[in-house]
């Protein structure tokens, strides 16, 4: 069995402490998953490092027991697309695409439906 949509947030003021925390957390999570008969799928795990204008960006390889955790610039969390700068650009772009499609559908069907039915749509 697999656990879907598990999220972990790790913070640290320095990289040495951060790597120690990551190793401990991955160990704890791996043990918890084993006890509960779940498996971590390392092909789907993503590392998202949040950055601000004034923060340093650290390039580091995240590994646990010879399994690489790939870095990503954005991730889907529930229905939100969160990017590493928290700018919401990727989420807004996705929503704009969906809204354009919905507007096109409404414009297309308005000629064949009554105003009451169109309001329900």
What digits encode the pLDDT tens for the residues 57-96?
667 777 777 778 888 888 888 888 988 888 889 999 999 9
Distance of CA 67 to the CA centre of its chain: 20
Of all residues in the chain, what percent carry a pLDDT higher than 90?
A: 11
**1-5, 31-35, 75-79: range with highest mean pLDDT:** 31-35
8 Å CB contact between 29 and 40: yes
The single residue listed with the structure tokens 């969390």 is 77
CA 104 to chain centre: 29
* Three-class DSSP category at 79: coil
- Residue 60: partners with Cβ closer than 8 Å, 6 or more residues away: 15, 19
pTM over 0.85: no
Whole-angstrom Cα distance, residue 26 to residue 63?
10
Element (H or E) spanning 110, and its range? Answer: none
């Amino acid at each position: 069995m697999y656990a879907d949509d598990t999220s972990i947030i790790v913070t640290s003021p320095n990289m040495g402490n951060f790597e120690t925390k990551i190793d401990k957390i991955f160990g704890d999570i791996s043990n918890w998953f084993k006890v509960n008969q779940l498996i971590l799928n390392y092909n789907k795990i993503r590392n998202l490092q949040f950055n601000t204008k004034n923060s340093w960006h650290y390039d580091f390889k995240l590994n646990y027991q010879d399994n690489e955790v790939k870095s990503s610039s954005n991730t889907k969390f529930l229905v939100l697309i969160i990017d590493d700068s928290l700018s919401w650009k990727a989420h807004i772009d996705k929503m704009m695409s969906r809204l354009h499609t919905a507007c096109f559908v409404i414009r297309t069907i308005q000629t064949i439906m009554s105003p009451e039915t169109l309001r329900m749509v």
